[in-house]
Amino acid sequence: MLPTDNQVLKYQFKSEEKLPVRIWEDSREASLYVARAIGLAIKQKQQEGEKIVLGLATGSSPIKVYGELVRMHKEEGLSFSNVVTFNLDEYYPIDPGSQQSYVRFMNEYLFDHIDIKRENIHIPDGTLPMEEVEAYCERYEKLIDMSGGIDIQLLGIGRTGHIGFNEPGSWENSKTRLIRLDSITRLDALKDFLREEDVPYRAITMGIGSILKARTIYLLAWGQHKAGVIQKAVEGPVTMQVPASFLQNHPNVKVIIDRGAAEELTRFKSPWLVGICNWDEDLACKAVVWLSKQVGKPILKLTDSDYNENHLSDLIIEYASSYSLNIKIFNRLQHTITGWPGGKPHADDTFRPERAKPAKKRVIIFSPHPDDDVISMGGTFLRLVEQGHEVHVAYQTSGNIAVHDHDAFRYIEFLHEFGLTQAIITGEGEKLCRDVTQFLLNKQPDQNDTPETRLIKGLIRRGEARAGARFCGLSDDHIHFLDMPFYETGRTRKNPVSEADISIIVELLRSIQPHQVYAAGDLADPHGTHRVCLEAILAAFERLKAEKWLSDCWMWLYRGAWHEWPVDEIEMAVPLSPQELVKKRRAIFMHQSQKDRPPFPGEDEREFWQRAEDRNRATAQYYSALGLAEYEAIEAFRRWRFLL
| Residues belonging to the active site | 167
Cβ(634)–Cβ(644) below 8 Å: no
- Specify the stretch interacting with ligand F6R by CB under 6 A; choose among 159-167, 358-366, 568-576, 621-629: 159-167
Give yes or no for a cis peptide into 93 (omega within 30° of 0).
yes
Identify which of residues 162 and 462 has a Cβ nearer to ligand F6R in the complex. Answer: 162
Instruction: Considering only the stretches 163-171, 365-373, 435-443, 465-473, report the one whose residues sit in contact with ligand F6R under the rule CB under 6 A.
Output: 163-171
What are φ and ψ of residue 205, in 5° steps?
A: -135, 145
Size of the site for ligand F6R (CB under 6 A): 14
CA pair distance 233, 510, nearest whole angstrom? 46
- Shortest approach of ligand F6R to residue 383 CB, angstroms? 37
Residue 164 binds ligand F6R, judged by CB under 6 A: yes
Residue 89 binds to ligand F6R (criterion: CB under 6 A): yes
Angle at 423 between CA 421 and CA 424, to 5 degrees: 75
Q: How far is the CB of 450 from ligand F6R (least distance, A)?
A: 27
The contact mask relative to ligand F6R for 51-80 (x = CB under 6 A, - = no) is ------xxxxx-------------------
C-alpha span between 319 and 8 (Å, rounded): 23
Of 135, 206, 609, nearest in space to 371 by CA: 609
Residue with the shortest CB distance to ligand F6R: 156
Q: Which is nearer to ligand F6R, 205 or 270 (CB)?
A: 205
Which amino acid belongs to residue 407? Answer: D
Rule CB under 6 A: choose which of 53, 110, 163, 214 binds ligand F6R. 163
Min CB(532)–ligand F6R separation in Å = 16
Q: Does 162 bind ligand F6R (CB under 6 A)?
A: yes
Shortest approach of ligand F6R to residue 88 CB, angstroms? Answer: 4
Cβ atoms of 231 and 18 closer than 8 Å:
no
Shortest Å, Cβ 534 to ligand F6R: 19
Pick the closer one to ligand F6R by CB: 310 or 492.
492
Q: Which of 618, 622, 609, 604 is nearest to 581 (CA)?
A: 609
Closer residue to ligand F6R in complex, CB, 213/335: 213
Contact 150, 53 (CB under 8 A): yes
Question: Residue 579 belongs to what H/E stretch?
Answer: helix 578-589
What DSSP assignment string belongs to 599-627?
A: S--TT--S-HHHHHHHHHHHHHHHHHHTT
Examine residue 104 and tell whether it contacts ligand F6R (CB under 6 A).
no
Name residue 600's amino acid.
F
Least distance from C-beta 43 to ligand F6R, angstroms? Answer: 25
**Strands laid side by side in the 152-155 sheet:** 21-24, 253-258, 216-221, 152-155, 52-56, 83-87, 121-122
Give 91 or 290: the residue with its C-beta nearer to ligand F6R: 91
Phi-psi region of 155 (alpha: psi -120 to 50; beta: other; left: phi over 0): beta
553 binds ligand F6R (CB under 6 A): no
When asked if residue 140 is in the footprint of ligand F6R (CB under 6 A), the reply is no
Which residue in the set 92, 165, 366, 631 belongs to the binding site for ligand F6R (CB under 6 A)?
165
Residue 364, strand partner residues: 392, 517
Pick 187 or 553: Cβ nearer ligand F6R:
187
Round to whole Å and give the CA distance between 378 and 383: 9
Least distance in angstroms from the C-beta of 239 to ligand F6R: 17
Instruction: Name the residue among 165, 166, 124 with its Cα closest to residue 144.
Output: 124
Of 150 and 509, the one with the shorter C-beta distance to ligand F6R is 150
Q: CA-based Rg of the chain, rounded to a whole angstrom? A: 26
Can residue 88 be called a binding residue for ligand F6R (CB under 6 A)?
yes
Binding residues vs ligand F6R (CB under 6 A): 57-61, 88-89, 156-158, 162-165
